[in-house]
Structure 1
Amino acid sequence: MRFVSWNVNGIRAILKKNFEDVFSEMDADFFSVQEIKCQEGQVDLNFPGYYSYWNYAERKGYSGVAVFTKHQPNHVYYGLGIPELDTEGRLITLEYDNFYHVTCYTPNAQSHLKRLEHRLIWEKALLEYLEKLDAKKPVIYCGDLNVAHKEIDLKNDKMNHGNPGFSDEERERMSILLDHGFIDTFRYFYPDLEHVYSWWSYRHQARKTNAGWRIDYFITSQSLASKLVDAKIHDDIMGSDHCPVSLEINWEK
């Protein structure tokens, strides 16, 4: 079973580029997108054989996530169930008989970490939410999580230390998540692989020089470790300032 996640930085913008071709070529069972930046009714996008679920931000042209899947879920949940955290369309959970699939667009701490407090409130609530799910059945959690966990996960770690996405507080929250029974699947397969990133700033020709960050993830419950086949970062796919990431799972293993 193939899972794909991609921050498209505007679904309407990427539809004018290569999104439908990439979608078709990747032939995923689950294709999650973040930062859709649209409202209900602004995009008419349907793929034959796929169910689609959308969570829009209240603010126009901002945030939002969607999931396309070949597998109809038993239940669909939007957000964390916390009103003050659920206005920006950042979370969708699909429930199946034997797992949960969670798509997330984590809040950015923003310049000078002016939104760090909100980010940490989100992180705490999100961890509690994932733990509750994991207590029932395994979790497959993906998306733009807006943090480079270790120095290996970005090009210029010393220069960016303390900046949004590489602050001590944000990195600590990722460590806490992984310490609570979850796996960073890319590092599970490639613990020492360097210079592989999923996001590049549009400034200073960052993608051309591969001055990137790995901030897009597939994270799973540890109970799924034996079923994981591979995790990839598709840095050859253009169209957004992020590239897709993917996970392969064999439920028969």
Structure 2
Amino acid sequence: MKLVSWNVNGLRACVTKGFYDYFQQIDADIFCLQETKLQAGQIELAIGPEYKQYWNYAVKKGYSGTAVFTRIEPLSVRYGLEEDFEEEGRTLTLEFDAFYLVNVYTPNAKRDLARLPYRLEWEDRFRDYLLQLDAHKPVIVCGDLNVAHEEIDLKNAKSNRGNSGFTDEEREKMTRLLQSGFIDSFRHLYPDRTDAFTWWSFMPKVRERNIGWRIDYFLISERLAPALDDAMIDSEVTGSDHCPVLLTLHL
């Protein structure tokens, strides 16, 4: 089984920058998007009838949003955490026979950290939600988690210490989540791989010089570890300031 996750930073823009080519070439069983930045009816995505499409739109126009395209019919779909609705469209949960899939676009703390208190409170709710699911069947979490967990996960760790996405508080929330029974699939397989990034700023020459951050993940319940085949980063794929990340499992 092949799963792909990509923060497209605006799907309408991304489809003009090679989205369809990549989608067809990668031939995923499940393809997840974050930051779709659109409302219902604003795009007709021509990806083929074999894919069921599920969308969680933000109320605010041109903001946030998640989507999942799957060849496998889910048993159920949930939009949000505690309720089947959330204003920012940040989570989609699909239940399958063998696992839950949670597609997430984690709130950004903002450059001035104005949203850090909300972010930390949201992290606690998200962790509790995942643990509730994990009590029933294994969980696969994918998406833009908006945190570089360890120093190896960004190019300039020392100068970014305390910045949004690399505060001690955000990193600690990730540590706590992993300690609760989840595996960072990429680091599990490649613990020492450096310069493996999934996001680059739009500043000139930053991506060309690979001055990036790894903030897009596939996390899996620990008991799925024996099924883990590979976790990859398609860093050569443009079309967004993030690149796609991939997970293959033998289920």
Cα offsets for 1:28-77 (capped at 9, x unmatched): 00000100000000011142210010000000000000000100101000
Distance 1:44 1:110 in 2: 31
Cα offsets for 1:176-197 (capped at 9, x unmatched): 0000000000000000000110
In structure 1, the residue matched to 2:125 is 125
In structure 1, the residue matched to 2:161 is 161
Q: CA deviation at 1:241?
A: 0.3
Query: Counterpart of 1:65 in structure 2: which amino acid?
Result: T
Task: Determine whether 1:186 maps to 2:181.
Answer: no
RMSD of aligned C-alpha atoms? 1.0
Q: CA deviation at 1:113?
A: 0.7
Matched-pair identity in %: 56
Verify the 8 A CA contact 1:46 1:52 in the aligned structure 2: no
Q: CA deviation at 1:133?
A: 0.3
Distance 2:198 2:82 in 1: 29
Distance 1:25 1:144 in 2: 22
Query: Counterpart of 1:131 in structure 2: which amino acid?
Result: L
In structure 2, the residue matched to 1:103 is 103
Distance 1:108 1:34 in 2: 13
In structure 2, the residue matched to 1:222 is 222
Query: Counterpart of 1:150 in structure 2: which amino acid?
Result: E
Distance 2:40 2:203 in 1: 31
In structure 2, the residue matched to 1:79 is 80
Q: CA deviation at 1:16?
A: 1.0
Cα offsets for 1:205-233 (capped at 9, x unmatched): 21011000000000000010000000000
Distance 2:24 2:209 in 1: 29
- The TM-score normalised by the length of structure 2 is 0.98
Query: Counterpart of 1:74 in structure 2: which amino acid?
Result: L
- Secondary structure of 1:24's counterpart equals helix
In structure 1, the residue matched to 2:136 is 136
Distance 1:44 1:118 in 2: 34
In structure 2, the residue matched to 1:34 is 34
Cα offsets for 1:71-128 (capped at 9, x unmatched): 0101000010258x92100000000111001100000000121100110111000000
Task: Determine whether 1:20 maps to 2:20.
Answer: yes
Structure 2: runs of 5 or more not aligned: none
Structure-to-structure mapping, 1:35-54, within 5 angstroms: 35-48=35-48, 49-54=50-55
Distance 1:219 1:205 in 2: 30
- Secondary structure of 1:111's counterpart equals coil
Verify the 8 A CA contact 1:38 1:56 in the aligned structure 2: yes
Query: Counterpart of 2:201 in structure 1: which amino acid?
Result: S
Indicate the larger mover: 196-205 or 138-147: 196-205
In structure 2, the residue matched to 1:197 is 197
Distance 1:195 1:106 in 2: 23
In structure 1, the residue matched to 2:69 is 68
Runs of 4+ in 1 over 3 A off after TM superposition: none
Task: Determine whether 1:170 maps to 2:166.
Answer: no
Distance 2:81 2:46 in 1: 26
